[in-house]
Amino acid sequence: MMRKYEVTDQVAIVYDQGVLGIEDAKKYGWKTRTGDYGFSLPFVDYSPGAKNHPLATLGHEVHRIRALCNIPRHGVKAGDLGGFIETEANFSHFNNEAWIADDSVVFGKHARVAGRALVRDRAIIAGTMGGTLISGHAVISDESVILRGTVAGGIIICGNTIYRGYGTYLDGDCRIVDAIISSY
């Protein structure tokens, strides 16, 4: 079977919930979405020197992927750069048409993108606190953050949506824009 992507040497660092405080963000001039929601969100440092930053050891090192084959469903051609993953467990090589595009990030040992799903723009899929699965024909885009739970079917999550679905499952055909969905 042919491999779908390769991992490149381009690195970003993801700071998980609660690791990067508002004071740290201000000190380094980073714009975060911490504090406005009653909980903190992951933050990604895409800068070229991210790996050498003093706080990098507190984060997750993620690597940009490059397509090795065409994925016509998402307009991907062999050689196109994709988003970032922490481990190959985040994204299967085989038997699916899923893609992680642009500057989107999938990280944590429990995060997975499969099926025909698309994660794009600057969306973040986090799997550090439990299972997070994006599958079916789901599309996660813009600045959306998925912290836990399953998104499947034809669900489209976009805008600045935050989904903290501890043990929950979103399925069907709908569009969720600029919402906060939390199971507690």
Round the average pLDDT of the chain to a whole number and report it.
86
Residue 48 CB partners (closer than 8 Å, separation 6+): none
Burial 147-163 (b: 16+ CB within 10 A, else e): bbbbbbbebbbbeebbb
The residue-averaged pLDDT of 2-17 equals 86
The pTM of the full predicted model, rounded to 2 decimals, is 0.89
Could you tell me which residue, 176 or 31, shows the higher pLDDT? 176
Where does the pLDDT of residue 142 fall: very low under 50, low under 70, confident under 90, or very high at 90 and above?
Answer: very high
The amino acid that residue 67 corresponds to is A
The residue-averaged pLDDT of 134-149 equals 93
The residue-averaged pLDDT of 111-121 equals 95
Domain residue ranges in the chain: 92-182
The values of phi and psi at residue 13, to 5°, are -120, 130
| Residues forming beta bridges with residue 139, ordered by sequence position | 118, 156
The CA R_g of the chain, rounded to the nearest whole Å, is 16
Q: Using the predicted structure, report yes or no on whether residue 151 has a pLDDT greater than 80.
A: yes
Could you tell me which residue, 180 or 113, shows the higher pLDDT? 113
Where does the pLDDT of residue 52 fall: very low under 50, low under 70, confident under 90, or very high at 90 and above?
Answer: confident
Q: Using the predicted structure, report yes or no on whether residue 4 has a pLDDT greater than 70.
A: yes
The residue-averaged pLDDT of 28-47 equals 66
Where does the pLDDT of residue 35 fall: very low under 50, low under 70, confident under 90, or very high at 90 and above?
Answer: very low
Burial 73-101 (b: 16+ CB within 10 A, else e): ebebeeebebbbbbbeebbeeeebbbbbb
The residue-averaged pLDDT of 43-47 equals 84
Of the chain, the percentage scoring pLDDT greater than 90 comes to 57
Give per-residue pLDDT as tens, 72-85: 999 999 999 999 99
Where does the pLDDT of residue 168 fall: very low under 50, low under 70, confident under 90, or very high at 90 and above?
Answer: confident
Cβ–Cβ < 8 Å for 107, 14 = yes
